[in-house]
Amino acid sequence: MRYCVNPACPSPENTDSVEQCVSCGATLLLNGRYRVVKVLGQGGFGATFAARNVSLPGEPVCAIKQLRVGSNNPSAIERARILFEREATTLGKIGNHPQVPSLLDYFEIDGQFYLVQEYIKGLTLKQEVKKNGCFDEFQLRAVLDETLELLKYFQSQGVIHRDIKPANIIRRSIDNRLVFIDFGAVKDEVSHTAILDIEDRTPNTSFAIGTPGFAPPEQMAMHPVYASDIYALGATCLYLLTGKSPRRLGYDPLTGTICWRDRVNVSDNLAYVMDKMLQPILSQRYQSSDLVLADLHYQPPEDEVENVQSDDAPLQDSTQVTSPTRLDDETDKSSLRDNPNTNLASEPLDRTYLTDTRFHTRVSRRSSQLRNTASWNRTNLSGNSRARGSRLTAEELKTDYFKGRRDFANCNLSGADLQRLNLEGVNFNESKLIKTNLRGANLRKADLSQTGMNHAILRDADLSDAFMSYCNLAGADLRGADLTNAYLTYANLSGANLCGADLSHAKVTQEQLAMSKTNWRTTFPDGKRGWG
């Protein structure tokens, strides 16, 4: 099929045998080389099409975005042309990143502007929710880790995306990496001035300003900043957790914040981070991705926690623990109302405050973990008698896992022999697996974040898609291990043996790898092998 891109065409679908649209007479070969085959999406900006470049061997597929000016005024068209060329330059610059579609071409035909980009095959996060259901905390943290790194890249290039939402983040089929698509709304930071109509001096709103529910107030007022993308990403997280647009969740009439806490079951740490990402008052929101990542992975020093509450203290009723993510009705809301410009986010978070609130006692953290077991893995046994944080034997682990339990957070399995066990999807968050023998074990999609695995034997283990942020792997034997797509952000790899390991598409830095041992059989994140 050939598709006509004329916005006024009454019947744009045509057969492959015609060169001009049967309905309106427009040419069906765009710019002499692109044969449009279908519509990918439509919106206020225009439309996005899938097309084939017939001028190249194999006629590769590309994505073409048509930008409609919405005015016949010559001055408006000229201003749109300036904006279009600026955006094309910006897209060309940020398209060098492997998780951003490359800009292949751009041109203008009959007052319509076209951007040609790399076609990304895969499902959007919105489609994933509709297909597989809402995300749990483990999945959401993985999304945040990856997308926040992308936002850091955008900011380093002076770019604000302005339309982050689940439909604009796609998981690329070939490598499962998240890719930001639909950059038609990007705004180069060098220009702070909205394009104005010369006659009435009002903003030209024919250019998209974001999606209601996902765009923050300052962006809807035509004043987007870097932190606007952070708000939109937080709103995207709400959709992934609830399956609903944020504006359907309702707003607090006093603070303007989205009412979401009673809709989901997440840890206090994640709730705190999301609340701050979603602050409607700009000065109270995170100002950079680095600050979000730091709080997302924050751990209070052990001695600070011990000073506040002993490990042996009895577990309090969870209803007696005050959640720091809720505003005190008499104090916090009134202070926000009386002084809305209070700056709570422009500086890095006070770590003492974090220790005293989100992690103010081991009791509150444990009660939070017990409340949120289901969010980590919905297959856990609600009536399991063995408490989290206890010393387990290999036989107890195997028995409980076989019965359906997956949550073994804070457990102590140091020195245990767990060779070749199937532990796919297990949660060992903050557990002790020091010198544990996991040779040949299946740990695919396991949560090993903040886990102590010093000198553990992980030779030939399957750790693909495992979440291993802040995992201590010092001196661990990872020879021949499968670490494809593993999240190793901030993991300690000092002295770890990665000879023959497969790190394809793993989230790990060169600095981390430099502390480990590799050889010619080690496959690095870029898919190449070499000596380390």
Query: Residue 413 carries which DSSP code?
Result: -
Write the CA distances from 91 to 59, 79, 309, 334, integer angstroms. Answer: 23, 18, 52, 44
C-alpha–C-alpha distance, residues 516 and 493, integer Å = 6
- Closest residue by Cα to residue 163 from 84, 219, 103, 100: 219
List for the chain the helix, strand, coil content (%; round to 5). Answer: 30, 15, 55
Q: In degrees, to the nearest 5, what angle opens at C-alpha 247 toward C-alphas 243 and 250?
A: 105
290 tagged catalytic: no
Q: Which residues of 43-64 are buried (b: 16+ CB within 10 A; e: fewer)?
A: eebbbbbebbbeeeeeeeebbb
Q: What is the distance between the alpha carbons of residues 11 and 2, in angstroms, rounded to a whole number?
A: 11
Q: Which entry of 16, 105, 110, 163 is annotated as an active-site residue?
A: 163
Inter-CA distances, 493 with 72, 327, 419, 515, Å: 61, 40, 22, 6
Query: How many Cα atoms sit within 13 Å of 92 on the Cβ side?
Result: 10
Which pair of tokens denotes residue 97?
A: 């990143």
Burial (CB < 10 A; 0-12, 13-18, 19+), residue 41, is middle
Question: Which residues have a catalytic role annotated?
Answer: 163
